[in-house]
Amino acid sequence: MRNLSQFGRRWPIQLTRQFGTGAALVAIGAGLILAQSLTSAGLAKPCVASCGSRQIQFTPGQRIQISVVNRTSSLVQVEQIYGTSPIALLPSQEVAVDPNFGTRPNASLVFWDETDLPLRVSLFRPAANQLRIELLPGGRPPGDRSVYIENDGKVKIF
């Protein structure tokens, strides 16, 4: 069988002419499976920047270093449920949360804009046991209000 690169860009048509429709379909199917497996492998890597809900997972019970950054132009309150009182974050200010965060099951962090504007969350995972939460302006009202780490280590944004 000839090398497919000989056929150039129009290889499916030329392959069909030379070997028949069945061989062309097999070659196209193999190419699609290869492309899908490469894409799946790329998606399997852990998310490190601008991660969405459920793209980050920690080992249950692992200590997680969490930092929260206010990227809005107004005052934002941040509170670790059953852990801290509300902490006021000025625009561009960053705060580290309780260093034992994540060792208790179902840990969550809630936040709100003092002017009632909707917030949008962007998650980053700079290292295996670090989570960076950036609070951004925007989103549909009421916006994102909390980041929740389930007892299986998955991260959700509500």
Contact 112, 89 (CB under 8 A): no
Q: What is the pTM of this model?
A: 0.68
Q: Is 36 a domain residue?
A: yes
pLDDT the model gives residue 133:
94
Q: Is 92 helix (H, G, I), strand (E, B) or coil?
A: coil
Residue 111 and residue 145 share a domain: yes
pLDDT the model gives residue 58:
85
Contact 79, 73 (CB under 8 A): no
Spatial CB neighbours of 104, under 8 Å, sequence gap ≥ 6: 82
C-alpha closest to that of 18 among 30, 6, 29, 33: 6
- The count of domains in the chain is 2
Burial status of residue 147 (CB atoms within 10 A of its CB: 0-12, 13-18, 19 or more): buried
pLDDT the model gives residue 98:
74
Which pLDDT tens digit goes with each residue over 43-76?
435 677 777 666 888 888 788 889 999 999 999 9
Residue 124 and residue 84 share a domain: yes
Residue 132 and residue 102 share a domain: yes
